[in-house]
Amino acid sequence: MLKKGIKLRHWRRLSQVLCFILFLFLFIKTDYSGSNELPYVVNILFRIDPFLAVSVSLASKALIYLMWPSLIFIGLTFIFGRFFCGWICPMGSLLDASHSFIPQTRPGNANRFRSFKFYLLGFLLIGAFLGLPAAGYFDPFSILVRGLALSVYPALNVLATSFFTFTYLQMPAWVNMLTEPMYAFLKETILPFLQNHHDLAFLSFFILVTIFILERLERRFFCRSTCPVGAVYAIVARFSLMRGKGGTKCGKCRNCMTVCRMGAIDEERHISPLDCNLCMDCVDMCPGNKISFGFQQKEVARPVFALSRRTFLSSLALGTALPFFLDTRTMAKSPDPYLIRPPGALPEHEFLGRCVRCGECMKVCIGNGLQPTFLSAGIEGLFSPRLQARTGYCEYNCTLCGQVCPTGALAELTLAQKHVTKIGNVFFDKNRCLPYAKGIPCIVCEEHCPTPDKAIQFREGQVLNSKNEMIWVKQPYVIDERCIGCGICETKCPLPGRSAVRVTSAGENRNPQNALPAQSLLY
Amino acid sequence: MDRRDFIKQVLLWSAGISTSIPSFRIGSELLAAEKAPAVVSHAKGKNYYDLVARVLEPLGGIGKYVKTGDHVVIKPNMAWDRSPDQAANTHPLVVKALVEHSLDAGAKKIMVFDRTCNEQRRCYVNSGIQQAMESIKDKRLAYYHPDTRKFVPVNIERGKAVNRLEIYRDAIEADTYINVPIAKHHSLSKLTLGLKNSMGVLGGNRGNMHHNLGQKLADLATVIRPKLTLIDATRILLRNGPQGGDLDDVKILDTLVASADPVAGDAFATTLFNMQPDAIPSTVAAYKMGLGEMHLDRMQIIQA
C-alpha cells in the first residue's frame, strides 16, 4: 500500500521530467547518424499507444505486430489506472509545466466535457474500421511530434541560425570567440543538421498551440475531455486494481477537489479512476492525511461512465455514415497525380488506414523531401506524407522513413528492395527544359540520376536557339523501366520556379491502376 | 590586383564593413610565371601513401607547396553517396596520404571539405573520407561541412560566361589550395577532372554552371588557383558518371597524376581515357584564357 510520507508528487514530477527528456532525446535522434540504420527505437512513443494500436488494427483488419508494446501499457493500466497520463505522457507533462503561465479563466473544477472523449473515441474507431482514418488528428503524440517536427524544431533552427549569422557577420572577433563555439556546440547537440522547410508548418503549430489555449477552460482540458488515448486508458482504468480513496470523515475542506488537475474528485471525495492520473497532489495536500491509494479497497464503488446513450449512438452513426461519402469525391476516380507516397507505402487505402500522421518520416527524411499533404488526399489524408520533389528528393541509398514508421504504413525496406521500389515516374516538360526549349546545354538531371544505369539518358538533337542558329545539344529523356521516381532531377533542375522535369505517381509499384503504358512486359 | 588585396576585400565584405563585392582579376605576373614548361608527373603503384610522395617528387615534393605555418585547403571530390570502389569520389587513402604529407611539411591548419551533391553527411561517410580523416589524430586537421554563412560573392573580372559566383571563404583565403579530384566520366563535360572539381567550393545554384560548362569552369579557374592538382586515377569511372554505381563501369589504374599547372594536369589525365585534351571543353577554354598548358608536346611529362 502506498502511504504518504515522502512526497509522492515529487516522484511523479521526476518521472515526468525524465520521460520528457527521453522523449526529446528520441525526437532529436530521429535523424541520420552516420549509418543507414537508426540506433534507437525513436518511434516507441507511438508503439506504446493503445489507441493507435486499436485504431490501426481496425483500419487494416489485422493485428499490427509493431504495436505490441502497447499491450504492456494496457496491462500496467489495469493494475495502476491512468498513471501514464500523470507520470509519463510528454504532452501531459508539457501541459503541467505550462499551467502557471496559462491559468484557468473561471474558477471551479466541474469537468463538464469529460464524456466527449468517449464519444470521440467511438467515432474514431468505427470511422477507422469503415475507412475514415482520423486517429492522427486527435492522438496527442501525433499532434505533439508533428507540431515539433514540422514547425517548432525548424523554427528553433531559424532562430539560432539568424542569431549566429548576425553575430558572425556583424560582431567583432572577440564576440565570435564566444558565440562560434556556442553555435558549434548547439549544432552538435540539439539543433538539426540542416534547416528543414515544411508545408503546413503553421497549421501543425496552431493545432498544437490550441491544446495549450484550451487550458484556459479547465486544467488539462485536452486530457480530461478530448484525448482518445486517455479515453482508452480510462476504460481500462475502470477495472484497475489500484485506486484512490478519499477520507470519509474529514473536515470537508475540499482541498483535494480543488487541487485535482483532472477534476477526478467529486463533492463526496470519491476519486474516479476514469479521470485520476495518479498525480498524487491530493495525497500530499490533504491536511488530514486522509487520502491513500492501494489495492484492497473493495468498498470503493466502481465508477460509471455516465454517457448519454443517444449521443454515443449518434457519434457511432456519424462514424459509420461519413466513410461512405469519401468515395463520392472525384479523387476516388482520379487521384492527384502529384501525390507521391514514400517508398514502401502500402496501397493508398491501406496506407491511409495505418498512417497516424505522426510526422516521424518527415522528421527523419534526410533530403527534406517528405511533406505533409494538405487536401489533395482528401480530409482523411491531411498530414500524410508525400514526396514534394521540388523541395527535396528521396535519397537513393536511404531507407530511414520505413524504419521510423510506427505502424508499418511505410514498410521497412532493405536497401536492395528500396533500389527497385518505384514510387513514381518523371516527365519532361519540353516547353521549359532548356535543351529542348532554348537550345541551352544543361542535363543536370542526367548527372544526378542515381540508378547505376541512368534512367535519364540524353540524345543529341538539333534545335533552333534564340539567335536562330541551328545547333546540336544534348536532350534528356527518361527510360521508364529504370526510373524509380526519387525526384532528384526535379530538385536539382536549375530552372527558377517550377522544374522542367516532374515526378508523378504514374507507374508506382503499389498501384497497378497507375501502370505506365508499355508495349511489352516491363520487368 | 594581387591576391592579398583580394583577400582583404573578402575579409571586409564578410565582416560587413564593405558592401562592395570582392573582385578578382588574375594579374599578368601570375600568368607570366606559368610560361616555363608545365611539369606533369604521373606514377603507378598499389601503396597509395608512398604513391602520393612518389608522384610529387618530380614537382619538388610536398614541401614546395606546403610551407611551415600555411593554412592549407585540400579539396577532394566527395560529392556522391557512393562507396570508394564505385569510383565516384576521391579515394580516401589518397586524401589521407596527402593530408599526412602536408602535416609533415609543417602545415599550420589543413581544411578538408566539399559541397556535395547528395546529402552531405552520407557523402562524407560513404566516400570513406570521413573515416580516413578521423583516423588522423592531429588537431591541425579540420574536416567539416561547408557553413552556409561563409559563401562570399566574388566578381569574376575576367569571366567570359559568368561574372559573379559565390565561393567558399576558406578556399579563397587559404595559403595553399590543393585540388584532389578523381578522374571520371561525366556526360556533359565528358570527364570531370581538376577544373570541374573546383565546383565544390561554389554556393548557390550550381546547376547554372552547366549552361556553357566548359567556359564557366575556366572562368572559375581564374579565381580558384590551386597551387597543386593531384588527380586520383587509382580507379576511374568509364561510364554512367559522375556518380556511377556499377562496378562494371570502374577500371583500376592505381595511377596518380600531379601538376602545379591545373590545365596541364587535366590535359594529361584525359589521355588515361584514350581521349585527347582538346576533347574536354573546360581544358580548351582555360588554355585559351592563358590559365595553363594543354598541349602534351609542350609539357614535361615525367613518370615517377
Q: Read off the DSSP letter of residue B202.
A: B
* CA-derived radius of gyration, chain B: 18
Q: Cβ separation of A447 and B14 shorter than 8 Å?
A: no
Pick A450's closest partner by Cβ from B126, B186, B245.
B245
The proportion of chain B whose per-residue pLDDT surpasses 70, expressed as a percent, equals 96
Instruction: Looking at the structure, tell me whether residues A357 and A426 fall in a common domain.
Output: yes
Q: CB of A12 within 8 A of CB of A297?
A: no
CB pair distance less than 8 Å for B187 and A474: yes
Q: What ipTM does this complex have? A: 0.92
Residuewise pLDDT in 10s, chain A (523 residues):
444 456 888 999 999 999 999 999 999 999 999 999 999 999 999 999 999 999 999 999 999 999 999 999 999 999 999 999 999 999 999 999 999 999 888 877 778 899 999 999 999 999 999 999 999 999 999 999 999 999 999 999 999 999 999 999 889 999 999 999 999 999 999 999 999 999 999 999 999 999 999 999 999 999 999 999 999 999 999 999 988 887 677 777 888 888 999 999 988 888 999 999 999 999 888 888 888 888 866 666 667 788 889 999 999 999 999 999 998 999 888 899 999 999 999 999 999 999 999 999 999 999 999 999 999 999 999 999 999 999 999 999 999 999 999 999 999 999 999 999 999 999 999 999 999 999 999 999 999 999 999 999 999 999 998 899 999 999 999 999 999 999 999 999 999 999 999 999 999 999 998 999 887 775 5
Interatomic CA distance for residues B152 and A240, integer angstroms: 65
Instruction: Tell me the H-state helices in A255-308.
Output: 255-259, 281-285
Q: Which residues contact B64 (CB under 8 A, 6 or more apart)?
A: none
Is residue A226 located within the same domain as residue A348? no
My answer on whether A281 and A395 are in the same domain is no
Q: For chain A, what percentages of helix, strand and coil (3-state, to nearest 5) are there?
A: 45, 10, 45
Helices A140-147, A201-213: inter-axial angle, 10-degree rounding: 130
Residue A193 lies in a domain: no
Contact (CB<8Å) A442/B121 = no
A477 with A407, same domain?
A: yes
The residue in chain B having the minimum alpha-carbon distance to the alpha carbon of residue A435 is: B211
Closest CB to B246: pick one of A35, A366, A452.
A452
A419 and A354 housed in the same domain: yes
- Distances from the Cα of B217 to the Cαs of B97, B160, B236, in angstroms? 27, 10, 21
A429 and A352 share one domain: yes
Instruction: Choose one of A247, A272, A294: the last residue of a domain.
Output: A294
The residue ranking higher by pLDDT, A420 or B15, is A420
How confident is the model over B125-154, as a mean pLDDT? 96
In this structure, are A96 and A217 located in the same domain? yes
Phi, psi of B74 (to 5 degrees): -110, 115
Instruction: Clarify whether residues A92 and A236 are in a common domain.
Output: yes
pLDDT score recorded for residue B26: 66
Q: At residue B177, does pLDDT exceed 70?
A: yes
Residues of chain B in contact with residue A35, where contact means CB-CB under 8 angstroms, are 125
Do A287 and A350 fall within a single domain?
no
Q: For residue A520, is it within any domain?
A: no
Contact status, residue A442 vs residue B211, Cβ threshold 8 Å: yes
Of the residues A272, A294, A316, the one at which a domain ends? A294
Residue A4, pLDDT score: 45
Q: How far from A436 is each of A83, A119, A367, A426, B192, CA to CA, in Å?
A: 65, 59, 29, 16, 24
Please provide the DSSP assignment of B255-304 as one string: EEEEESSHHHHHHHHHGGGT--GGG-HHHHHHHHTTSS---GGGSEEEE-
- Would you say how long chain A is, in residues? 523
Residues in chain B: 304
DSSP A65-112: GGGTHHHHHHHHHHHH-THIIIII-HHHHHHHHHTTTS--SS-----T
Q: Which residue has the cell 474507431?
A: A125
What is the SS3 assignment for B153? strand
Q: What is the pLDDT of residue A8?
A: 86
From residue A360, alpha-carbon distances to A142, A281, A356 in Å are: 9, 34, 10
Nearest chain A residue to B190 by CA: give it. A447
Shortest CA distance to A76 belongs to which of A237, A195, A199?
Answer: A237
Cβ <8 Å between A168 and B149: yes
CA distance B235 to B254: 6
Domain boundaries, chain B: 37-303
Q: Identify which of B71, B29, B26, B66 has the alpha carbon closest to the alpha carbon of residue B169.
A: B71
Quick check: bond before A69 cis, omega within 30? Answer: no
Calpha distance A304→A308 (Å, rounded): 12
What the block records as the C-alpha cell of A180 is 562560434
**All 3 cell numbers of residue B149?**
554563412
C-alpha cell of residue A96: 503541467
Residues A272 and A348 in one domain: no
Please say if the pLDDT value at position B69 is more than 80: yes
Cβ of A396 within 8 Å of Cβ of B81? The answer is: yes
Residues of A in contact with B213 (CB under 8 A): 441
Measure the CA–CA gap between A20 and A23, rounded to whole angstroms. Answer: 5
Q: Which residue of chain B is at minimal alpha-carbon distance from A488?
A: B118
Nearest chain A residue to B188, by CA:
A443
Q: In Å, how far is A97's CA from the nearest CA of chain B?
A: 36
d(CA A134, CA A125) in angstroms, rounded, equals: 9
* Those residues with Cβ within 8 angstroms of residue A302's Cβ, 6 or more apart along the chain or in another chain: A238
A84 in any annotated domain: yes
What pLDDT, on the 0 to 100 scale, is given for residue A3? Answer: 47
CA pair distance A446, A105, nearest whole angstrom: 61
Q: Do A168 and B205 touch (CB under 8 A)?
A: no
The 10 Å CB-count burial string (b at 16+, else e) for A121-155 is bbbbbbbbbbbbbbbbbbbbbbbbbbbbbbbbbbe
Cα–Cα nearest to B207, from A436, A476, A443: A443
End-to-end CA distance of chain B: 37
CB A285 within 8 A of CB A137: no
Q: Which of A236, A270, A294 lies at the terminal end of a domain, its last residue?
A: A294
User: Within a 13 Å sphere around the CA of A168, how many CA atoms are in the beta-carbon half?
Assistant: 17
Rounded distance between C-alpha atoms, residue A426 and residue A422, angstroms: 11
DSSP H or E stretch at residue A118 = helix A116-130
In a mutational test of the B interface, the residue from A444, A445, A473 whose CB has the highest number of chain B CBs within 10 Å is A444
DSSP label at residue B65: T
Do the Cβ atoms of B177 and B171 come closer than 8 Å?
yes
Q: What is the mean pLDDT of residues B284-289?
A: 96
Mean pLDDT of B255-281: 97
Residue of B14, B82, B83, B118 best to disrupt the A interface, most CBs of A under 10 A: B118
CA distance B302 to chain A (A): 34
Q: What's the confidence (pLDDT) of residue B28?
A: 52
Closest partner residue to A458 (CB to CB) among B187, B210, B212 is B187
A211 and A359, same domain (yes or no): no
Helix, strand or coil, per DSSP, at residue A496 = coil
Q: Which three cell numbers, joined as nine digits, stand for B190?
A: 565528358
Domain count, chain A: 2
Instruction: Count Cβ atoms below 10 Å from residue A276 Cβ, excluding itself.
Output: 28
Q: Give how far A77 is from chain B: nearest CA, Å.
A: 43
Partner residue opposite A440 with nearest CB, options B186, B206, B211: B211
Q: Which fold has domain B37-303?
A: Rossmann fold (3.40.50)
List the single range of A10-19, A384-393, B28-37, B151-160 with lowest mean pLDDT.
B28-37
Question: At CB < 8 Å, which residues of chain B contact A?
Answer: 14-16, 81, 117-119, 121-122, 125-126, 149, 186-188, 205-208, 210-213, 240, 242-246, 249
| pTM of this prediction exceeds 0.90 | yes
Residues A135 and A283 both lie in one domain: yes
Is B210 in contact with A494 (Cβ distance < 8 A)? yes
Q: Write down the pLDDT at residue B78.
A: 97
Q: Minimal CA–CA distance to B168: which of B199, B218, B202?
A: B202
Q: By residue range, what is the domain housing residue A394?
A: 330-514
Cβ neighbours, 10 Å, residue A255: 18
Q: Is residue A304 part of a domain?
A: no
SS3 B233: strand
| Residues B266, B214: Cα–Cα separation, whole Å | 13
Within a domain: A372: yes
Q: Domain for residue A164, yes or no?
A: no
